[in-house]
Amino acid sequence: EIEELNLEIFPYWIDQTIQEVARRIYHNPLRQQVMERFAFLICSKPAALFHTIPNYDSVVNRGLKALKQEAEEKEHALGVSGEDQNKKHFYQAVKLAIEGVLSFAQNLSYEAQRLARTESNANRRRELETMADICATVPGDKSNTLQEALSAIWICKIALHQENANVGLSLGRLDQILYNLYCRDIARGMTVSQAVELIGCFWLKLADHVPLVPDTGEELFGGTGSNQALTLGGVDEQGNDAVNDLTYVMLRATELLRLRDPNVNCRYHPEVNPP
């Protein structure tokens, strides 16, 4: 694995980063040269978009194909003015980005199918076949199960990390976004223990790219994780209690695993939420 990284993966990607692409297109501009000479500075410009919460609700409940269609319709509705041309470029970029994510998901599906064909263990073969089916469905289409929703979010999160810093790409209120799918799965026969296992596996994926840090980092910054904030509980838009069964499932997974990420935050309204 180390040889593969050093001899194949790193050499391929070393000139494929946003900075290197910009260097080629703009002939190593002065602003980039200046940025690369800073010894210590929190500079967000090369980090693209971070410290934000992507709209995972749309990914789960609509799917990327619907978002691509929306971008196409908005592009066609624009005129020919200079401002409209800039907007057209934006919507074209949205479509290209979505096509890239859909191709990535399809490649994951093909790889799971390939592995399933040569897998001798029946249980593992079924798992791989399930992975293949899920990646062929989401994030292109809307999710119909909790496992599909978690897979859709994870695939989109990988895509976002291709062009962003590994900091603060947060998850939002997942217990609200995923609750209806959780209830549907429970009605179909999924147990609470199975739900905890699914969420726990997702937590482990979220933590597998958290960098190793020295002891000083653990002491000064609480572990210096990727700071993928997750918000649980609280109230809804109307001020009603938003704590639900999935809130407790996620808290249980957090309690069992004790990981640095996700950065779990619980909202509590003393007049609304139960003690």
Query: Does 142 have pLDDT greater than 60?
Result: yes
Can you tell me the distance from the alpha carbon of 206 to that of 128, in angstroms, rounded to the nearest whole number?
20
| Residue extents of the structural domains in the chain | 48-62+144-275, 64-137
Position 71 scores a pLDDT of 97
Other C-beta atoms closer than 10 Å to the C-beta of 100 total 12
Residues in the chain: 275
- The encoded tokens of residue 242 equal 């938003």
Position 217 scores a pLDDT of 61
Can you tell me the distance from the alpha carbon of 113 to that of 129, in angstroms, rounded to the nearest whole number?
6
pLDDT in tens, 96-129: 999 999 999 999 999 999 999 999 999 999 999 9
Type of residue at 199: I
* DSSP structure string for the chain: -HHHIIIIIHHHHTT-SHHHHHHHHHTS-HHHHHHTT-SS----GGG-S-SB---HHHHHHT-HHHHHHHHHHHHHT--SSHHHHHHHHHHHHHHHHHHHHHHHHHHHHHHHHHHHHT---HHHHHHHHHHHHHHHHTTTSPP-SHHHHHHHHHHHHHHHHTSS-SS-B--B-HHHHSHHHHHHHHHHT--HHHHHHHHHHHHHHHHTTPPP--HHHHHHHTT-----EEEEESB-TTS-B---HHHHHHHHHHHHH--S-SEEEEE--TTTS--
Tokens 């995923």: give the residue: 178
Position 56 scores a pLDDT of 97
Q: Residues 70, 150, 207, CA angle at the centre, nearest 5°?
A: 120
Of 24-33, 91-100, 104-113, the least confident = 24-33
pTM, to two decimals? 0.82
Residue 42 pLDDT class (50, 70, 90 cuts): low
pLDDT in tens, 156-209: 999 998 877 777 889 999 999 999 999 999 999 999 999 999 999 999 999 888
- The encoded tokens of residue 174 equal 């997942």
Phi, psi of 36 (to 5 degrees): -75, -5
Position 46 scores a pLDDT of 55
